[in-house]
Structure 1
Amino acid sequence: MNNEAKNNLKKGGKAAIYSSLINLLLALVKGVIGFLSGSIALIADSIHSFSDIVASLAVYVGLKLSMRRPDEKFPYGYYKIESFTSLIVSVIIVITGIEIALDSYNAFLNPSTIEIPLVALFVAALSALVSFLLARYKQEIGRTIGSQALINDGKHSFIDIFSSIIVFVGILSSYMGYLRIQGISGILVALLIVYMGLKLAKDDILVLLDANMDPEKIEEIKTIAESVDGVEGVHAIKVRRSGPFVFAELHLQTKKGLSVENASEITGNIKKAVKGRIKNLDSLMVQIEPFKKERLRVAVLVENKNGLQSDISEHFARAPYILIADVANGRIISTVVKDNPGTTLEKKKGIETAEFLEKEKVDVLVSTGVGEGPKYALSDKSIDVMVPRGKNLEEMIMDVYK
């Protein structure tokens, strides 16, 4: 875990603590005024606020535990604790909704008048305002650090806004003489709470089961990886969330015979490019596999221009001509013989020939006369070098395609 990730988790922990303290104060005020006024809706909202405290503390504990470094027992880290605490928050939301529904149903059957209604109305309005500010604060921090638990806690606070508004309407209706409205208001709050809790719980369970929650991110990773030089194809991309972090893996297709150094360089470039674009990406696992093209461009160094009847040259830079054949569907579909530009130079003939082969988009060079220097240069340009096998040029070229 890098320093930025640690700082993000600390920010989330502070947000959860601030939220707990504010909710504690709010719950006490609503509870006292609800008890003094006899408002069942305000008392229910107070209980709801106490559930917010438990939820925020659960988020805090989850974020703190997520900061632990991976160890022998948990080599992938403790990040899922954050997702688990998010699930606990969701369950608390559902239970709270059920409790409020039962209390509100009882208030509907046995309505009562409210004492100090103006004070109760003020507290309900204050609760809505504080919940709005808390919700925005927690969701903003949650999105900044990528914490689903904190985002869920923020959504929980948004429920509190509607809850307090409905309580306000219920108290106002009771004050005007419509006593049963308060019970109905409480039931509406409860239904809203249960719905949101179930929705959040579903998302948390999917994250814990490593479900693919973001198909757009898969396409984004594919696009980024395919833009890296040396990549022939990308498939089998898997993305999962673990707490606030993202883990991904992909299968990378490269040219057959790619050197270990080149493969390592391509892998490093992909990881750098993807991590630079995907926020909160903790790990990207890349598995390399050879890619067999449906169409290959094969080059053979030759002594003369007689097509497939040309004589093979045993030299690389000094070979006068280069035969280039396109192979597809198990047969040679076209051939062309071109002058070797390396023969016109006094120095660096091999480099000139290698650059020419790269410009012609050659995949494989068939030759026995390539030294270590040119072979390394060709490998660096992702051009394979193969020893000729066969009685004639056609057999040698088709042997490459097998």
Structure 2
Amino acid sequence: MNLKRGEKVAKYSTYINLFLTVVKGAVGYISGSISLIADAMHSFSDVFSSLAVYLGLKISQRKPNQRFPYGYYKVETFVSFVVSVLILVAGIEIMYESIKSIINPHTLKYPTIGIVIALLSAIICYILAIYKEKIGKKIGSQALINDGKHSLIDTFSSLIVFIGILSSFFGYEWIEGLAGIIISILIFHMGIELCKADILALLDAGIDPKIINKIKNIAEKVDGVRGAHAIRLRRCGPYIFGEMHLELDPEKTIKDAHKIILKVKDKVKDEIKSVDILTIQTEAFEKNYKIVAVPLKNGEVSGHLGKASHFAIAKIVDNKITKIEMKENPGAKVEKKKGIKAAKFLKSENIDILAIKNPSKNLEFLLPECKIVKAEGSSLEEIIKNAVKAKS
């Protein structure tokens, strides 16, 4: 993730807010607009908000060390919380100013320049808000996203000033206050929601179950993985830290397990860019049943995967056949790579044992997770039972 880009956006946002503070403050003083002066003070608080985001993103990019082995990513989350609190404060401030403007309406000296500056400020803040949220989502920075929402509130604030000065020009001073109260309620609601999300992140609350399910599906598609569970994730700034357990075949060596772990990590990080640290533990896969496949052609056991018209797929529980299904061999329907197609089908059926007329080394390559034995017996049931007892 390019946090450097977010840092740059926050820095320019600080400069823009400082510029707006000076312009609105000066024009408010000249025109006699109390609301424009108040908006200038609001923009001044935004300078510190954007500055905090800038420093937060800058610090969070520091490399992990002995004191902070997981890095400084939480700084970004903490700054995000500070910005959320500032949004709440802005809502209260706008509510206060709005009620005050209803109780004590006032007439402006130079309304025209105030109207122009207020509208210009609203446009600049809106563009800034959209851009900060866009970059924030792109780099996964909640602090920058929240700062973008803060700028959106500044847009509303400037629009209230614009409405107030315009309505005052036509003799309807109370409209500014009413609009301000409505918008302050919306701002307060937004601030509470953002604070709640940041507090949950700081407390390492669980992440969206959809992401957990996605990681589980990615892991279980990797060859050699029989199951994935105990997936726990937490957000740390713009990144996700997690841990999970993988179930592997008992026959797998430590070297095999290490290769599978690396493959799962690469796949997960490739599809979910925000995942930074993923700790994986492995355990032996245990189940109380076996799946046996027997390739058939014209009612007899076939010696080749690709040439078999059907597969008999049997489930064995406690050495007893509980179910036998006949399934068409998709490999028989293609012109080339029949064996490869058939092997993929058997993998999808999660077979444990293949009983075939002519076992070969090539089959061990196509089905590395499967026990391959010679089919022996006078009936299909006998062949299946003998396959379970046989040694590979």
TM-score, scaled relative to structure 1: 0.75
Identity %: 49
Tell me if the contact between 1:295 and 1:326 (Cα under 8 Å) persists in the aligned partners: no
Q: Please say which of residues 183-192 and 153-162 is displaced more in the overlay.
A: 183-192
Tell me if the contact between 2:353 and 2:387 (Cα under 8 Å) persists in the aligned partners: no
Specify which of 46, 59, 65 is matched with residue 65 of structure 1: 59
Q: Are positions 1:98 and 2:88 aligned together?
A: no
Are the structure 2 counterparts of residues 232 and 173 from structure 1 closer, same or farther at C-alpha, using a change threshold of 3 Å? same
1:198-246 Cα deviation digits (max 9, x unpaired): 1211111111112234222112212211111111111222222111112
Residues 25-40 of structure 1 mapped to structure 2, 5 A cutoff: 25-40=19-34
* Alignment match, 1:174: 168
* Alignment match, 2:103: 109
Question: 1 CA distance for matches of 2:144 and 2:202?
Answer: 16
Are the structure 2 counterparts of residues 222 and 361 from structure 1 closer, same or farther at C-alpha, using a change threshold of 3 Å? closer
Structure 1 residue runs without a partner (length 5+): 300-323, 337-354, 366-373, 386-393
1:114-138 Cα deviation digits (max 9, x unpaired): 1211111001100111011111221
Q: Are positions 1:150 and 2:144 aligned together?
A: yes
Question: 2 CA distance for matches of 1:67 and 1:200?
Answer: 23
Q: Are positions 1:210 and 2:197 aligned together?
A: no
CA RMSD of aligned residues (A): 3.2
Question: 1 CA distance for matches of 2:315 and 2:389?
Answer: 8
Letter in 2 for 1:331: N
Are the structure 2 counterparts of residues 137 and 329 from structure 1 closer, same or farther at C-alpha, using a change threshold of 3 Å? same
* Alignment match, 1:333: 321
Question: 2 CA distance for matches of 1:335 and 1:104?
Answer: 75
Question: 1 CA distance for matches of 2:179 and 2:32?
Answer: 15
Instruction: For residue 181 of structure 1, report the CA deviation from its aligned partner.
Output: 2.0
Are the structure 2 counterparts of residues 334 and 136 from structure 1 closer, same or farther at C-alpha, using a change threshold of 3 Å? closer
Q: Are positions 1:80 and 2:74 aligned together?
A: yes
Letter in 2 for 1:183: G
Residues 389-400 of structure 1 mapped to structure 2, 5 A cutoff: none
Are the structure 2 counterparts of residues 364 and 257 from structure 1 closer, same or farther at C-alpha, using a change threshold of 3 Å? farther
Question: 2 CA distance for matches of 1:111 and 1:20?
Answer: 33
Instruction: For residue 362 of structure 1, report the CA deviation from its aligned partner.
Output: 6.3
Question: 1 CA distance for matches of 2:314 and 2:232?
Answer: 35
* Alignment match, 1:381: 368
Residues 3-402 of structure 1 mapped to structure 2, 5 A cutoff: 5=1, 8-297=2-291, 328-333=316-321, 363=352, 381-383=368-370
Question: 2 CA distance for matches of 1:334 and 1:125?
Answer: 76
Instruction: For residue 398 of structure 1, report the CA deviation from its aligned partner.
Output: 8.2
Question: 1 CA distance for matches of 2:54 and 2:12?
Answer: 10
Instruction: For residue 100 of structure 1, report the CA deviation from its aligned partner.
Output: 2.5
Tell me if the contact between 1:248 and 1:284 (Cα under 8 Å) persists in the aligned partners: yes
Question: 1 CA distance for matches of 2:323 and 2:110?
Answer: 96
Tell me if the contact between 2:316 and 2:322 (Cα under 8 Å) persists in the aligned partners: no
Instruction: For residue 77 of structure 1, report the CA deviation from its aligned partner.
Output: 1.0
* Alignment match, 1:302: none
Q: Please say which of residues 199-208 and 102-111 is displaced more in the overlay.
A: 102-111
How many residue pairs are counted as aligned between the two chains?
A: 333
* Alignment match, 1:349: none
Aligned-partner SS, 2:321: strand
Instruction: For residue 331 of structure 1, report the CA deviation from its aligned partner.
Output: 3.4
Letter in 2 for 1:191: I
Aligned-partner SS, 1:249: strand
Tell me if the contact between 2:292 and 2:316 (Cα under 8 Å) persists in the aligned partners: no
Q: Please say which of residues 253-262 and 168-177 is displaced more in the overlay.
A: 253-262
Aligned-partner SS, 1:78: coil
Letter in 1 for 2:186: L
Tell me if the contact between 1:325 and 1:332 (Cα under 8 Å) persists in the aligned partners: no
* Alignment match, 2:379: none
Aligned-partner SS, 1:173: helix
Letter in 2 for 1:95: V
* Alignment match, 2:334: none
Tell me if the contact between 1:237 and 1:250 (Cα under 8 Å) persists in the aligned partners: yes
Instruction: For residue 66 of structure 1, report the CA deviation from its aligned partner.
Output: 0.4
